Amino acid sequence: MLQKILVPLDGSKLSDRILEQVRRLLLKQDAEVRFLRVLSEVGHPPGPPRRQAVEEAQAHLEGHRLAWASQGVKATMAVLSDGDPAERILEYADQYRPSLIAMSTHGRTGLKRWTRGSVAERVLRHSSFPVLLWNPFRPERRTAPRLRIGRILVPLDGSEHSAWVLPLVRQVARSFGARVLLLHVTELYPTAGDLPMVQPWPTPAEVERHLAPFRKILKGVEVRILGELGTPSVSILEAARREKADLIAMTTHGRSGISRWAFGSVAEQVLRHCHHPLLVQRAA
């Protein structure tokens, strides 16, 4: 179960929008929430401006803490006064040992192009703990966003490593009574000719048999299996839109890329273009 959620914020409204997703999770289970702010040395030199920045950061987090505490949430806060944000978040997480790290993919950078060196992607790449990431620039909806999680899309390449996220998915799915969609993508490979080469496209029955062992991990959860042909990251995003997923959950293997999909890079590609909340568990 989710017992402790670490929420790194940078003081901006964009960064704060991850709180919508944290509230979603707290609808069905209680957890301690710790708001974290890291003030980098860049832009905050020593002296009165630095002290003012620390005071403003503390006031911002205290506002959230009081608001959430008034609703019965056990909320705490911490401000780290110096260091590289991504490194300090990871160091703090190693000490705090959260069940989940939740953060926005954009903050003070606003609409500036998302780069590989961003704080969110660096945390994703190196975190030992599950990470919930969300792009706050989601398409605007005419109706209020759904608080209930009804459909969870889980891409699997068929390896045991890609299924490491399933125990966490099972917890969330059972809490919300959600359906889990297991997605397998048969990948296209480039060739020297004009046409791409493709593995033999499995039939629905073959995909079902291929992913059947993973149903056991999701005991007590409604499961549907999907098969797609194409580029993994593109197919994942298209399936999420088509199936109206409320959450995408997947494993990343970090830099090692030990799976057939090189899952670390697929997770990062999905993150850069995804308007759905993305839950990622990094395999050891």
In tens, the pLDDT along 211-221 reads 889 998 999 99
CB 126 within 8 A of CB 253: no
Hey, do 4-134 and 151-282 end up sharing a CATH topology, with the first three levels equal?
yes
pLDDT tens-digit map of 43-53: 555 566 778 88
Which residues, 6+ apart, have CB-to-CB distance to 7 below 8 Å? 18, 19, 22, 33, 34, 35, 36, 101, 102, 103
Where is 223: in which H helix or E strand?
A: strand 223-230
pLDDT at 174 over 70: yes
Whole-prediction pTM: 0.86
CB 178 within 8 A of CB 152: yes
For the chain, the structural domain boundaries read 4-134, 151-282
Helix (H, G, I), strand (E, B) or coil at 283: coil
pLDDT number for residue 186: 85
Pick among 3.55.50.30, 3.40.1160.10, 3.40.50.2300, 3.40.50.620: CATH of 4-134: 3.40.50.620
Query: Distance (Å, rounded) from C-alpha 103 to C-alpha 9?
Result: 7
Pick among 1.10.3980.10, 3.90.550.10, 3.90.1150.10, 3.40.50.620: CATH of 151-282: 3.40.50.620
pLDDT tens-digit map of 222-269: 999 999 988 899 999 999 999 999 999 999 874 444 444 555 578 888
Residue where the block lists tokens 């493709």: 198
pLDDT tens-digit map of 149-164: 999 999 998 888 889 9
> Encoding tokens for residue 202?
């499995």
Q: What share of the chain in percent tops pLDDT 70?
A: 81
> Encoding tokens for residue 114?
């998302």
Query: Distance (Å, rounded) from C-alpha 201 to C-alpha 92?
Result: 45
